[in-house]
Amino acid sequence: MDAIVQLIRNAMCCVKDLNLFAESLPNLYDPEYTSKFYTFPTPFMSKTTPLEFLICISQLYACISCTISGYNLIFGGGILKLKRLTRVSDLVHKKRLDKAGSKKKDDDKDDKADKDDAIVNQVVATSVMKEANGALRNTFVGICVLPIGISFFWLFCNSLHITEAGWVGGLPALIHALTVMEIALVPLLYFMLKDASSALKKAVDIRAMVEKFSGKKNKDVAPSGSAGELSWINLESYSLIVDSGWSPYWTTSAISSVDQDAEGKMLTKEIEALERNVKSSLSGDAAIVNASKAAEMEEAAQVSSLEGYREYAYFVFNFIAFYGYLLGVVVYYFDADESQPAAVRQLKLGYSNDDADWGGNFAGDFMWTVEPIVILLSPFIISRLTKSKGDKAKKD
C-alpha cells in the first residue's frame, strides 16, 4: 500500500512540476474549482488547487504511515525484540549448562552426540546473534524513518499553502523539515549499499556451496583425522542445505504476552527439531547436495543476485532524489546568485537558483515515482528471470 501511495503522490507531483494536462484538464489547476466543494478559511489556503489537495492527502498518508513505521521499527522490531532475544539467549545458555551437567552423569555419551550438540548450539547462537544485529539495525532505521514521517506534515501544510500563510513555522519550518529528511536519508542510503553488497555476496557463497558439496557425502567432506564430521554446517549452510527457509520463532517481532515458561517450551521444540535435522544429515549414504537441491540453491543464488542489483537501483533512485531535494535547501540559504560560494555554484551544476530548485525538485519527484514502480514490479520480474534461467538450465 505504501508503494502504491508513493507512486500516486510523486506522479501527481511530476504532473504539477511539468504543468501537464493544463489544457485538457484545466480544473486540476483551478483553485476556484476546489472552493465549490470546500472553502478554506484564509486567502492563502484558498489558493489550493484540486491537484494540490490530492497531493496533500497522499502526503498526510505518508506522514502517518512513516511515523507509525518508524515507531514500530524502534520498539516492536528493535528494542522489544532485543529484550526478547536477550531472554532467548539466557534460556539457551541455561539449557547448555543443564545439558553439560547431565553429560557428566552419562558415561555412555559418545563423541557423535557431542558433535551434534555443538552444531546445534552454533546454529542457534549464530541465529540469535544475527537477529540481535537486525534488531539493532531496525532501531537505528526507525530513528531515521520517524523524523521523515513527521517532516511530511510540513509538506502536507505546504500543499495547502498553510506555510505561505506563516502558520506552523512558515517557510523556514518547511526548509528545516526538508533538512531533517535529507539528514535522515543519508544512513538509509548507506544501508541500501550494504544490503546490495550482502545480497551479491550471498549469491556467491551459495554457488560456492553448490560447487563444493554437489554429489558429495558427509564422509567425503569431513576433515582428515577430524572428529568433526559436520564441521561444515553453520547457520547459512544449515538454512540452505539441511532445512531450506528455516525460520525459528525468535525471528518474529517481540511477543510481550509470552512468559518465560512458554518461551522455554518453544525453545525446547525448536532445538529438538534442529537435533533431528542434524542427525538425519549425518548419513553418509546420501549426497549433501543432490541435483534437485543444487537446482533449488542455484535459483536462490539467482534471486539473491537480482535482489542485490535491485538494491543498487534503489540507491541510485534515492541518491538522485537526495541530491535533487538538497538543492532546494541550498538555494534557500544562498538566495543570491551573484554572491554564492564557488562550491554552491558547482553543486547547482552552474544553473540559476530557480532552475536548480525546479530541476532538483523534479528529479526527486521523478525518481520517487520510478522507485515504487520497481518495488511493485520487481517480484514478478525476478520470478520470471529465475524461472527462465531455470528452464534453460534444464534444457541444457
pLDDT band at 175 (very low <50, low <70, confident <90, very high): very high
HSE on the CB side for 208, CA within 13 Å?
Answer: 9
Number of domains in the chain: 1
Task: Kindly report the pTM of this predicted structure.
Answer: 0.85
Q: Distances in Å between the alpha carbon of 20 and those of 60, 63, 161?
A: 23, 26, 21
Q: Distances in Å between the alpha carbon of 372 and those of 7, 11, 309, 365, 369?
A: 6, 10, 16, 12, 6
Among the ranges given (51-65, 114-128, 359-373), the one the predictor scored with the smallest mean pLDDT = 114-128
State the burial class of residue 41 (Cβ atoms within 10 Å of its Cβ: 0-12, 13-18, 19+): exposed
Q: Angle CA(281)–CA(285)–CA(288) in degrees, nearest 5?
A: 45
Among the ranges given (87-101, 222-236, 382-396), the one the predictor scored with the smallest mean pLDDT = 222-236
Closest alpha carbon to 131 in 72, 198, 83? 83
Backbone angles phi, psi at 110, to 5 degrees: -95, 170
Helical (H) or strand (E) element with 42: none
Mean pLDDT of 186-200: 95
Cell of 91: 534460556
Q: Looking at mean pLDDT, say which of 170-179, 226-235, 286-295, 329-338 comes out highest.
A: 170-179
Tell whether the model's pLDDT for residue 24 goes beyond 90: no
Q: Hey, what amino acid is at 306?
A: L
Mean pLDDT of 114-127: 77
Cell of 207: 554457488
Contact yes or no for 84/132 (Cβ under 8 A): no
Cell of 106: 552419562
User: Domain residues for 26?
Assistant: 2-395
